[in-house]
Structures are given as structure tokens and as C-alpha cells.
């Protein structure tokens, strides 16, 4: 493949060729709206649990755990179907399913019958659809754009996610205070409808699913096993899996009780909490914009190492008790997201680039089963630990565990760089 002239900074971050790809822009718009809506629910749902239903730390941790439990349970199954079936219809169906599940929360609230059990059930149902959407989504991108454009595509999508993290919490904080936490969930439900519509508008034909080559045995379990082998047989992939899983374990121990710390220990209002996350998310936006330049200068391995170390900044969160809490937390999250955001862009682009298209779904499913499988464990541990040792020590411990994830990168191919074509 011929080399392309090195683009300038702003062209790399916000320009590039994908602006001219109408179908990618449709995907991009839909995901921008959907991510903003998701940010609203991520603040609104636990706020309902904490402030309206007076949930305990364990109940809040369980709420998060149930949303992510389907990944270790169904992830590998979803991966097989993401390679057997066309991925775009799976994504549309998942968007509509998430929309309907979320609508039941404000409806039950308006009828005066909302309870923590319903939040558990909705979280579980949304989690199931998240599994099928997330695996199909990561596997669909290499079929929509050229592999040489993957870093640009993932960077643009990460910019959208970071922008949503900037706007979403602020919207959520205002909406919670104006219309209430339960009714604010209408915003996320509507965003999934927008996402489904933009996906429906995409016109580029999706390649015919071909989960196995002509010389390989077919069968559900064999196909699942092949996806596992792709990850476990590749030292780069399984070390990325170990790194991300460790970081997710630690960060979710901390984040399981982060809102409890803000509401009950710091006595912050929902609007202030939303503003803190919004200001901190400016760092994520800048990190997404800078990601391609950082990779070009440092290489993939060093970028992964430096960015994953940023997770350890969570340990400083309890210092907010002794400082101006909103300002300190805003700065802390800004720096953490700025350093940490390039990790996701880099590791996802690397995974997509070195994996054949026919097994993209199963590779992503195996990776997500591993790396998201530690999220419910971390959330449950966070809730349990907060009851045993306190909320602040739990956050410190979670941040420390997250920082240990760097050991996986140190043990791996630090100098590796993304290649434009997959390994066959």
C-alpha cells in the first residue's frame, strides 16, 4: 500500500478523508446524539437510586454491575452472531430495545410505582442490548471505511464521545434539577431513536457475512472457539485485554461509589455534579483530538503505557474533602481524561487493524467479555468495600488497582505500530 503524506495536526484531528464519506458521517451523527443521551442516563439513573430511592452503596454498585453483567455472560454468543449476521440491523434493533426499556422508568415514576427492582431490571435489559450493539458497532466500522482510515474514524468517534461527555452531564444536571431525575431519562430514550434512524439511512452495502474460511469447520461452538483463539493466540491482543480488564476493575471499584461520595460526603447538588463532569470532559475531548498526533510521535506501545497510567489519578479524589470540591474535581477529571482518552482510540484501532474482517465480531466479543467482564466485579466490590472500609478509601484503592494495569503494557511489545492491513 502506498504511503500517504503525513497530515497536519488539525487535519489529522478534525479533518481527513472521512468528512467526504456520507455514510460514516451518518454513523458519526447518530453516535454523537446517542452518546450524549447515554451521559444523561449515566447520571440520572444512579441519581434516582441515591436521592429518590435512598439506595445503599451496595445497591448502587449492584445497579451498575447488572448493566455490565451481560458482557461476560453473552459477549461470546453475541460475537458469533455479529459475524454470522449483518451488523447494521443488529445495531438498529439494539437501539430500539434500549429506548423501550428506558421509557419504562419515567412511566413507572409518573404512576408512583418506581422501585429499585425496576432499575435493576432495566439495567440488565439495557446491558443485553449494549452487548449486541457494542460488538456489532466495533466490528462494523472496518466494513464501512478503509483500514487506513481506522485511526481517523475512531478518533472522530472518540471526539463525539468526548463531546457528549462534555455536554451530556451538564444537560443531565440541569434536566434533573428542572424536570427531575426520572423524567430526564426521556432524553436518552430519544437519543437511541435518533441513532436507529441514522443507521437506517446508511446506504453502503454491508459485505455478506463470512464467519469462516472454506477450509475451516463450521458450527456455533467452533466459531466461538476461533474468536477466543484469535485473542489468546496473539500476544498483543491478550496483553491489551489484560491491561484494559485491570483498569476497568479498579476504576469501577472507585466509580461505583463516586456519586455517593459527591452527593453524601461533599453535599454537591446534581447540577454541580453535572458541571464537574462536563468541565472534566473537556480533557477527554482534547485527548481525542490529540490522540493521532500522540501515536504518530510516541508509537502505539508508549501511548498505551502513558495513557493507562492516567487512571491512577482517581486516587486523589478524596482530597476534595479538604479543598474547593467542584474546582478540584473538575481539574482532576480534566487531567485524567486528557491523559487517558488516547488509550481507547489506540487500542481499538490496533485491534481492528490486525484482525481479519471475518472474525472481527468474535475478536471484539472475546475482548469485551474479558475487559468488560471485570466491570460488574468492580462495581460489586466497590459497593461492598464502601460498606466495610468507607467510601473514600474505596476510591483510593480502586485508583491504585487501575494504575497497576500499566504492568501489562510493560510486559508487551512497546514499540508496536498499527499496520494499515490486517493479518490474514
Grid cell in block for residue 234: 496473539
Rounded Cα gap, residues 207 and 209, in angstroms: 6
Q: Is the pLDDT of residue 13 over 80?
A: no
- Which pLDDT score is estimated for 179? 87
Q: How far apart are CA 352 and CA 151, in angstroms?
A: 10
Q: Work out the pLDDT band at 9, boundaries 50, 70, 90.
A: very low
CATH architecture of 20-207+221-410: Up-down Bundle (1.20)
Predicted model pTM: 0.72
Give me the pLDDT at residue 14, please.
52
pLDDT of the residue at 413:
56
Quick one: DSSP state of residue 145? S
Q: 179 vs 160, which has greater pLDDT?
A: 179
Instruction: Give the orientation angle of helix 325-353 with respect to helix 235-255, to 10 degrees.
Output: 160
Report the percent of the chain where pLDDT is more than 70: 88
Per-residue model confidence as pLDDT tens digits over 386-403: 989 999 999 999 999 999
pLDDT at 62 over 60: yes
* H helix runs in 261-324, sequence order: 270-298, 300-309
Output 302 or 393, whichever has higher pLDDT: 393
93 burial type by CB count under 10 A (0-12 exposed, 13-18 middle, 19+ buried): middle
Task: Using the predicted structure, report yes or no on whether residue 7 has a pLDDT greater than 70.
Answer: no
Q: Is the pLDDT of residue 421 over 70?
A: no
Residue 423: exposure state from Cβ atoms within 10 A (0-12, 13-18, ≥19): exposed
Closest alpha carbon to 158 in 295, 348, 9, 311: 348
Q: Distance between CA 198 and CA 211 in Å, rounded?
A: 26
**Residue boundaries of the structural domains of the chain:** 20-207+221-410
Q: pLDDT tens for residues 69-125?
A: 887 888 777 777 777 778 888 889 999 999 999 999 999 999 999 999 999 999 999
Predicted local confidence at residue 331, as pLDDT: 94
- Residue 352 backbone zone (phi > 0: left; psi -120 to 50: alpha; other: beta): alpha
Tell me, what DSSP letter sits at residue 264? Answer: I
Can you point out the beta strands (E) in 61-158?
Answer: none
Helix/strand/coil (H/E/C) assignment for every residue in 362-404: HHHHHHHHHHCCHHHHHHHHHHHHHHHHCHHHHHHHHHHHHHC
Percent of the chain exceeding pLDDT 90 equals 29
| Residue 214 confidence (pLDDT) above 50 | no
Query: Residue 321 pLDDT > 80, yes or no?
Result: yes
For residue 217, count other CB atoms closer than 10 A to its CB.
Answer: 8
Of 288, 289, 285, 281, give the one whose Cα is nearest residue 329: 281
User: Given pLDDT bands bounded at 50, 70 and 90, which one contains residue 232?
Assistant: confident
Q: Decide if 280 contacts 336 (C-beta within 8 A).
A: yes
Q: Which residues contact 208 (CB under 8 A, 6 or more apart)?
A: none
Helices (H) and strands (E) in the chain, counts: 18, 0
Tell whether the model's pLDDT for residue 158 goes beyond 90. no
Question: Could you identify the residue written with the cell 444523561?
Answer: 40
In the chain, how long is the greatest CA-to-CA distance?
65
Q: Which of 52-66, 203-217, 230-244, 246-260 has the lowest mean pLDDT?
A: 203-217
Sign of CA dihedral 83, 17, 94, 92: negative
Amino acid at each position: 500500500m502506498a504511503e500517504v503524506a503525513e497530515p497536519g495536526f488539525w487535519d489529522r484531528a478534525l479533518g481527513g478523508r472521512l468528512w467526504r464519506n456520507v455514510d460514516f458521517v451518518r454513523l458519526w451523527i447518530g453516535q454523537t446524539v446517542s452518546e450524549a443521551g447515554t451521559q444523561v442516563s449515566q447520571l440520572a439513573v444512579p441519581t434516582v437510586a441515591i436521592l429518590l430511592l435512598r439506595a445503599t452503596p451496595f445497591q448502587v454498585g449492584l445497579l451498575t454491575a447488572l448493566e455490565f453483567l451481560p458482557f461476560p455472560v453473552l459477549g461470546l454468543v453475541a460475537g458469533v452472531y455479529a459475524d454470522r449476521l449483518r451488523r447494521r440491523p443488529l445495531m438498529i434493533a439494539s437501539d430500539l430495545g434500549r429506548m423501550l426499556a428506558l421509557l419504562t422508568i419515567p412511566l413507572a415514576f409518573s404512576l408512583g410505582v418506581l422501585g429499585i427492582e425496576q432499575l435493576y431490571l432495566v439495567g440488565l435489559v439495557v446491558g443485553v442490548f449494549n452487548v449486541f450493539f457494542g460488538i456489532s458497532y466495533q466490528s462494523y466500522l472496518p466494513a464501512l471505511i478503509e483500514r487506513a482510515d481506522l485511526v481517523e474514524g475512531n478518533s472522530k468517534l472518540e471526539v463525539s464521545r468526548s463531546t457528549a461527555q462534555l455536554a451530556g452531564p451538564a444537560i443531565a444536571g440541569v434536566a434533573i434539577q428542572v424536570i427531575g431525575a426520572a423524567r430526564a431519562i426521556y432524553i436518552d430514550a430519544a437519543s437511541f431513536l435518533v441513532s436507529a434512524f441514522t443507521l437506517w439511512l446508511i446506504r453502503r452495502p454491508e459485505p455478506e457475512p463470512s464467519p469462516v474460511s472454506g477450509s475451516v469447520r463450521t458450527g456455533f461452538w467452533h466459531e466461538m472457539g476461533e474468536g477466543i483463539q484469535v485473542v489468546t493466540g496473539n500476544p498483543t491482543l491478550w496483553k491489551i485485554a489484560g491491561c484494559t480488564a485491570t483498569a476497568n476493575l479498579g476504576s469501577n471499584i472507585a466509580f461505583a461509589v463516586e456519586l455517593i461520595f459527591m452527593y453524601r460526603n461533599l453535599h454537591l447538588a446534581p447540577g454541580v455534579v453535572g458541571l464537574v463532569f462536563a468541565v472534566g470532559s473537556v480533557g477527554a475531548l482534547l485527548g481525542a483530538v490529540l490522540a493521532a498526533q500522540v501515536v504518530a510521535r510516541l508509537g502505539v506501545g508508549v501511548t498505551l503505557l502513558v495513557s493507562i497510567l492516567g487512571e491512577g489519578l482517581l486516587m486523589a479524589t478524596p482530597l476534595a474533602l479538604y479543598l474547593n470540591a467542584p474546582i478540584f474535581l473538575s481539574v482532576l477529571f480534566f487531567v485524567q481524561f486528557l491523559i487517558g482518552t488516547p488509550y481507547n482510540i489506540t487500542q481499538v484501532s490496533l485491534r481492528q487493524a490486525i484482525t481479519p474482517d471475518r472474525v472481527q465480531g468474535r475478536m471484539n466479543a472475546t475482548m469485551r467479555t474479558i475487559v468488560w467482564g471485570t466491570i460488574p466485579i468492580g462495581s460489586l466490590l466497590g459497593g461492598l468495600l464502601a460498606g466495610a472500609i468507607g467510601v473514600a478509601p474505596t476510591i483510593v484503592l480502586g485508583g491504585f488497582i487501575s494504575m497497576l494495569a500499566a504492568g501489562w503494557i510493560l510486559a508487551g511489545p512497546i514499540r508496536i505500530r498499527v499496520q494499515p492491513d490486517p493479518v490474514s
